[in-house]
Amino acid sequence: MTSPKLSHATNWAELLSEKFTVDQKPAPGAIAHWNKAGWNKNYGHVAYVHSVNPDGSVVISEYNFSPACGFNKRTIGGPGSSGSNKPDHYIHVEAGGLGSGGGLTAIFAETLSHDVSDIAGQVTFDIKCNEEWSVEDDAKWLTIQKIENGIQVNYDKNNGNERVGNITISSLGAVNSPLILSVNQHSNSENSPEILVVPENPSSIDLIHLFIPLETPTPCYDIQSEHVIEGQDIRVDIHSVSRDGICSFTIDHKTIDHGLGSLAAGEYHVSVYLNKDIFQTLDIQVNQEENTVLIEEFDGAVNGDAHGIEFVETPNGMGAKLSRVNESRIQYPFDKWMVKEGTLEFLVKIESGYDYRDPTYTNNAVLYEGNNRALLFTTDVQHGDVYWPGSTWFYVKDNGVLSISMATKKGTGSGVQSLSSPETGYRFNEWHYVGISFGSEGQFLMVDGKEVASNPAHTQILGSGGTHSSPVDKPTIGESLPGFWHNNQWEGGFEGIVDRFRISNKQRDWKMSLNDQRVIRIEVNPENIQFDAEGGVKVVQVTSNSKWSSVPNNDWISAITDFSGLSVKCEENFGVERQGSISIVSTENQSISQTILVFQKKRKLLLKPITSQYGSMEIHIIL
């Protein structure tokens, strides 16, 4: 950051010391200043101080630190800090002392954020700047107007979840431009149904509060509950009924779905409230598979934090469609759903992958679409934020190759445990189960219920990437949000549909895919058979939930299907040892097959002496 009047930042402390206080004591609104050093190419460096934490660390915003020519916000100056994390000086400028004669432009705000209720209202931000400044916001529910000493912000009523609106204050040449302000609005608990479970992790009978926003509870309302399926949701229908001729007309009907995937199996006593007045109670039974943390069916609702998805019809009912245009993603934070060790299973149909690349680091990223490799799941971004232990990337390729990579240390580009599968039956534009397992037992990859790669030595647990100061990225299906880079600078994702998703806290727990009868499976026993040189017939048991056919891959092997299984016939061998195979192929999907290996021994050479009546000896060679 360079001022046209102050030259390079390394000169600022000296040039401004006559007009402002320069010391080593951080304070909000001050300028953090670094002398020339190797890391700043001897130009020096300056940043704006937002706040000072109780431990002495300092929250700053800056340009041209990381990324180059880009804006960044970080925490510096903690105990034991040095180099780029420890300023040499703090310059205590004041808005009244600035101006064209002061040689410095900066933006000052008395308050950087306001926390407001769900009810519509108004707040003000006091702003001082000695030059012209502009204001922008990223939220439709905010209306902003400039006033004499700052801005007046009007916010709408919030009928949904908690939300944040960011306001950007910019001034050409200001050392801390842009300055980011925020309005944090609380959720509407009355109009947003929610489930509260006491205790947080129940294992027997407990109380669930289900708030349902109905304006006028009357005796006409009757509450009915459908049976809970696999612990995934509870449906409560509220509608009017006729009671002795009273309220015989329809008043309301409402169905509310709520994810109960975090509940243990058992009976639960549910209290249903209308406008926070208790109305009726009912009992539900949660039936949940062992080790299952969450199963998503995407039948018009999702438990994760979703953005830009569409619900579409699938052979299984409904699924979540993700696309680049919508920057689609579904996040599963660690504090709600995601596990550090366990198994993730996906039922997906992927069309293609895409990614953004910014080789010049100027936020002019190039989009690459139609890729034959797709990022299905990550706890970072495709090309990496700042790696932290457990930063993870799960890729699938159109040729059937799956791969998982997990960072083992903080940094970039080193200390990564990776595992790839050989080519499998997985293909783009087809429905397949795929999965990853991670933790103390190692890394594992799965396609359609079958493990296709493993490495027990790779024991890294799941974590997140983020910024230099913290691992802020969230576990994400689709295009994740960067914590460090600008939006669409190094991200990636896929075009396709997710039909089902399961999180298990147990490794190698492929229950969802193994229990789905729609997944074509072929098993053979034995997988290898061996014949003597004379040949013969042997039976192989073939088990499959699909129609199949046998395809011998060698002309000396034939096969016949009968009631006992597959009869494999091998012709007599007059040559050397040989190896062949038979492919068992699904007639419904020819990419799914199993191979039976066939081995045949060669004939032995035997010397057999025979004595004739004349006493001579003949030697017959028997092949």
Quick check: is 282 in a domain? yes
Q: What is the pLDDT of residue 357?
A: 92
> Do 533 and 387 have their domain in common?
no
> Do 444 and 420 have their domain in common?
yes
User: pLDDT tens digits for 554-608?
Assistant: 999 998 886 557 889 999 998 899 999 999 888 877 777 888 999 999 887 655 5
> Do 346 and 451 have their domain in common?
yes
> Do 464 and 412 have their domain in common?
yes
Structural domain ending residue among the three candidates 121, 154, 185: 185
How many helices and strands in the chain, by DSSP H and E?
Answer: 2, 47
User: pLDDT tens digits for 324-358?
Assistant: 999 999 999 998 889 999 999 999 999 999 999 98
Residue 6: closest CA among 187, 153, 173: 173
Other CB atoms within a 10 A radius of the CB of residue 604 amount to: 8
Structural domain ending residue among the three candidates 156, 185, 214: 185
Quick check: is 68 in a domain? yes
> Do 299 and 428 have their domain in common?
yes
Check which CATH number belongs to the domain holding 592 and give it.
Answer: 2.60.40.10
Is the distance from CB of 419 to CB of 454 less than 8 angstroms?
A: yes
- What tokens appear for 357 in the block? 């690349």
Quick check: is 614 in a domain? no
- What tokens appear for 579 in the block? 């190896």
Check which CATH number belongs to the domain holding 366 and give it.
Answer: 2.60.120.200
Residue 486: closest CA among 130, 70, 124: 70
Domain span including residue 90: 9-97
> Do 277 and 332 have their domain in common?
no
User: pLDDT tens digits for 486-542?
Assistant: 888 899 999 999 999 999 999 999 987 776 655 667 778 888 999 999 999 998 988
> Do 235 and 162 have their domain in common?
no
> Do 474 and 532 have their domain in common?
no
> Do 549 and 589 have their domain in common?
yes
Amino acid of residue 583: S
Q: What is the pLDDT of residue 86?
A: 86
| Mean pLDDT value of segment 426-455 | 93
Quick check: is 608 in a domain? no
Burial class (CB within 10 angstroms; exposed 0-12, middle 13-18, buried 19+) of 421: buried
Quick check: is 396 in a domain? yes
Residues 6+ apart with CB under 8 A from 95: 106, 108, 128, 129, 130
- Domains of the chain: total: 5
Quick check: is 149 in a domain? yes
Quick check: is 1 in a domain? no
- What tokens appear for 238 in the block? 């509220």
> Do 77 and 42 have their domain in common?
yes
User: pLDDT tens digits for 354-393?
Assistant: 999 988 888 888 999 999 999 999 999 989 888 999 999 9
Quick check: is 454 in a domain? yes
> Do 62 and 148 have their domain in common?
no
Structural domain ending residue among the three candidates 288, 313, 338: 288
> Do 426 and 302 have their domain in common?
yes
Query: Own/partner pairs for 513-518, CB < 8 Å, 24+ apart?
Result: 513/345, 513/347, 513/433, 513/435, 513/446, 513/448, 513/449, 514/449, 516/347, 516/433, 516/449, 517/545, 518/315, 518/316, 518/431
Q: What is the pLDDT of residue 343?
A: 96
